[in-house]
Structure formats: C-alpha cells, structure tokens
Amino acid sequence: MTENTTLNFINGQYTDPIKGQWIENVSPVSGEVIGKIAQSTMEDIDAACQSAKKVVDRWANMPIEKRAEILHRIADLIDENSQQLVKLESEDCGKPITRARTIEIPRAASNFRFFAAAITQFASETHESVGWNAINLTLRSPLGIVACISPWNLPLYLFTWKIAPALATGNCVIAKPSELTPRTASFVGELCNQAGLPKGVLNIIQGTGDSAGQAILEHPEIKAVSFTGGTATGKKVAATVAPQFKKLSLELGGKNPNIIFADCDYDKALAITVYSSFGNQGQICLCGSRILIEESIYERFRKDLIAKTRSLKIGNPSDDETEIGTLISKSHFEKVLAYLKLADEEGATLLCGGKPAVVEGSEQGCFIEPTIYEIENHQSRICQEEIFGPVVTLHSFRTEEEALQLANGTPYGLSATLWTTDLDRTMRMTRQIESGVIWVNSWLMRDLRTPFGGMKASGVGREGGFDSLRFFTQSKNVCISYRAK
Ligand code: TXE
C-alpha cells in the first residue's frame, strides 16, 4: 500500500484489482481526491478464496497457543504503528484525531489481545448421560473461510472486532472495510505479515458494497458472514446470504433512547449525554439520539445541554483541540442536511445548531453543527429513523410507563442508556427496555467479554466474548456409548 493507492491484500501481497477498476478516496475534510482504491470484483474474491484454501487446514490445526502468539504480535505491532494508523483513520473519516488516538486505535490492539487470550480459555462442554452409559462431547471446529464486512464510522475498531475472533478460532478470513475508510485496514495486512501470520489466512478486499461486498456474500467458499452496517444494507445482505444457508451475524442501526430521571447524578448525566449525543459527530450506532427527560428536570436539563453543546469545539480533525470533526462523506452530509430540512417540515423546534458549520481552511469540509430539536410527535420521521449525524431530539415524560413507551417506540432495539439512582426502578426498566445493550449511569463502557448486538431492526445474533468465538465455529455432538460392565 502506498499512501495514495489502496490495493487489495491477497495471499500476503498487495495486489492490483484483477479487472483494473478503481474508485476515488475523497477527503471529507478538504473535499479533494486524496487517493484511489481498488474496486474489487468476483475475480478478486475468488483469488482471495483460492489463497485461503491453500492454508485453511494448516491454520485450523495450528496449536492454539501458537495462533494466540501471532495475534498478540499483531496487537503489539498495532501499538507500535499507532501514530500512522491514527493519522490515516482521522484523515479517512474526518474524525477528531484525539478520538482516534485515545480510543479507537488502542481498541484495535485490545481486540486482538482480548481474543488471543479468550481462545486459550474457550472450552467445549461434555454431557454425561447418566443411566444411559454414554458421554456426549461437543467438538468445536472452525468454519473454514469466513467473511467480515465492516463500516466506516469506527473503521479499524470494528474491522479488528470481527477479524480477531475469526482468526483466533482458526478460520481464514476475507475481510472488507468500507470503501470510505480503506486505509487503516489495508495497513493491518502488512502488520500481519510482520507478525508471521501465514500468507492467505487474512485477505483484505477493497471496494464498494455492490461490487466487492456483494461478490463476497455470493462466493460459495465463504461459510459465514459477519456484517456491521446500516439496516437497509443488512436486509439486502440477509436476502443474499440466507438462501445459501451461510451463518450470518448482523449488527445494524439504532435509534437509541437516553432516559434521564430526576434522581440521577445530574452533572454526570449531563456531561455524558453531550458525549453520547455528539461523539464521533453522532456517527456511532450506540449514540443516544432520543433524549427522554423526566418533566421535573426538563427545563433545567434542556438549558444546560444547549449551553454545553454550543461550547463544543468544531474544527479540523487533525487539531488536537477539536471535539467535532466532519461527517464521513458529501453524500452522508447531504442526507443529514435533508433530515434537518425534514425536521422543519415536521414542526420541530430548533434549540441549537441546525446548519453546516464553516471551518476556516476547510471550507469544503462536511461539518454540521451539533443540533438539538424539541418535538411533540414521537411518530415523526426524525424520531423514528436513524439519522447517524450530530442530531438529537428532546422529549419529556412524567412516569416510568411513559418513558418505557417512548424508549421502545421505534423499530430499533440496539442500545439504551438509563440515568437513575433508584435500584428498583433500574431493575423494572432494564427488564422491559427492548435493547441488546443497556447502560445504567454510563455510556459506551464496553467490557469485551459481554454480548453485543441488537433486537428488532437492529440486528440478529450476538458478538463479543465467547459469543464471537461460538459464531465463528461450528459444534458437533459426539455421543459415545460404553459398556457398563
Ligand atoms: O453503510 P452500509 P452506508 C447506518 C447509518 C448510515 C447508513 C448507511 O444510518 O446512514 O447505515 O450507511 C458494505 N453487500 N450505519 O451506506 O451500506 C459497505 O461497503 C455486501 C450504521 O455507508 O451499511 C461497507 O463495507 N456488503 C452502522 C458496509 O457494508 C455491502 C455503521 C457498511 O455499509 C453491501 C455504518 C452489499 N450489498 C452505517 N452494500 C452501524 N451499525 O454502526 C454495502 N456493503
């Protein structure tokens, strides 16, 4: 990989796309074309699968400690190269460099470290059939060649979240980062070579979803697909994958409630609400985009939230002080602006933001001011659809029942945040909130051992900890009968 050309990584080598097609890498900060990216087709996926096939048995049969050692080395190399990875990530996404440096790139290394350790503790069950003179063993084996398709919002963080467990369990991997953020994933190929990962075990395919992504889903050698992306794309992925009976894990969008009761730790709730609303410009599937506030503190919270939001520093992502960078692309920027227009049409009251921000020196950048609306009708589209930008709506509630009804009142069910110091209420609410992840008095604390995934339109399946290891393996029951005497 050179800085300007992002190639495929197949059989341990950076290679041109077989059909010679390219797409542009456009900076969301300057609006300029900063490089070109391989646009892969079925021919490239096939080459990747052929290289994986050559090594699939060797990798699957390598002693677990040896596999884990290689993954630990990849983690160390990510740390050693973090400065360059941080720069590429921030440039590709327009995300504040401080965020890439302190959260996302370190987490990519921890993903490898965590699954390198987890695989050494991954035991299978035995069930003794007492009275039948039989014992059942559960054997777990890798699936063979699996696909990991990841999005642009937390590029290396999510790419490694998928490939680390897939590799740890002994699979060969065909991985595709988003065409909008190809460079950090591409860099990992070189690090895998340095770490001694056998060639062909990890193949990184670049290109758009409709070309490279679709071909990955359709390739007959691929036995499972782990996908993170939008709900509409997830539907298409499921429609392609399900009739082929491949294993499928879908992590999709969210429209997450952030529920604030009057008995909360007010200052903490306020500070973290600013972060959970606008972190990464609201482009995290876990962002709390609907803020539900108990009536008795509504006015105060609204006023304080507006003041804190206005003080966020919008700026060039490469500046250490910047808190709000750009959206991912011109077309996503246009999509979010269309929601701002829709908010007007739906009769929302604008409390702050509501327009593009101009940053000196980056006049073509996709910046949008952090935006807060108040809106009565919770059925309006801005309250029901995932905007995936720095836009939140405020709602007041009087009772727990009302809060619950609002919280569960969208097609999504990814995450929820609950602010209260009442333990009874915590238990009542968490049992009834329809979300795969619920944070109480915090947000985005992610212990990698815990299950992660969504309910309803937010996805199917769980990843994280042993759930990831189970997804990337298949179990086989062996029932052994023995003579009692
Ligand atoms: O993501 P896509 P997009 C949401 C968010 C956003 C919307 C659309 O609301 O506005 O999705 O974003 C690959 N077969 N999220 O269009 O399309 C694609 O190349 C196989 C939430 O940018 O979901 C990329 O690698 N692959 C989300 C990945 O899918 C396909 C994070 C995700 O892209 C494909 C991102 C196909 N037919 C967006 N089409 C989250 N849950 O965190 C696309 N891809």
SS (H, E, C) 218-229: HCCCEEEEEEEC
The mean pLDDT of 258-275, rounded to a whole number, is 98
Q: What is the CA radius of gyration of the chain?
A: 23
Check whether 60 has a pLDDT greater than 90: yes
Confidence of residue 485 (pLDDT cuts 50, 70, 90): confident
In the predicted model, is pLDDT for residue 484 greater than 90? no
Active site residue 383: no
Pick the atom of ligand 1 nearest to 149's CA. Answer: 25
| pLDDT number for residue 3 | 56
Average pLDDT over residues 447-461: 97
Token digits for 456?
A: 């309803």
Can you give the pLDDT at residue 4? 86
- The bridge status of strand 247-251 relative to strand 459-460 is antiparallel
- The Å distance, Cα 26 to ligand 1 centre, comes to 17
Mutate to test the pocket of ligand 1, among 214, 233, 327 (most ligand atoms within 8 A of CB): 233
| Dihedral sign for Cα atoms in the order 376, 378, 379, 385 | positive
Strand order in the sheet with 459-460: 13-15, 8-10, 202-204, 172-176, 145-149, 222-228, 247-251, 459-460
Ligand 1 centroid to 208 CA: how many Å?
Answer: 10
Catalytic residue among 264, 285, 287, 383: 285
- d(CA 209, CA 222) in angstroms, rounded, equals 16
Give phi and psi for 364, each to the nearest 5.
-90, 5
> Does the annotation mark 285 as catalytic?
yes
Label residue 139 exposed, middle or buried (CB < 10 Å: 0-12, 13-18, 19+): exposed
* Distance from residue 3's CA to the centre of ligand 1 (Å): 24
As a whole number of angstroms, the distance between CA 412 and CA 407 comes to: 10
Name the band, by pLDDT with cuts 50, 70 and 90, for residue 1.
very low
Output the average pLDDT for the chain.
Answer: 97
- The residue whose CA is least distant from atom 24 of ligand 1 is 178
CB 351 within 8 A of CB 306: yes
Please compute the mean of the pLDDT values over residues 468-484 and round it to a whole number. Answer: 97
Nearest one of 483, 469, 400, 476 to 167, comparing CA atoms? 469
The per-residue pLDDT for range 343-362, each reduced to its tens digit, is: 999 999 999 999 999 999 99
Going by CA atoms, what residue is nearest to atom 39 of ligand 1?
209
**How many Å lie between the centroid of ligand 1 and the Cα of residue 252?**
8
Instruction: Give the alpha-carbon dihedral of 72, 73, 79, 82, to 10 degrees.
Output: -130
pLDDT tens digits for 5-43? 999 999 999 999 999 999 999 999 999 999 999 999 999
Q: Write out pLDDT tens, residues 143-153.
A: 999 999 999 99
Distance CA 444, CA 279 (A): 11
The atom of ligand 1 lying closest to the CA of 329 is: 22
Q: Which is catalytic among the residues 251, 323, 386, 463?
A: 251
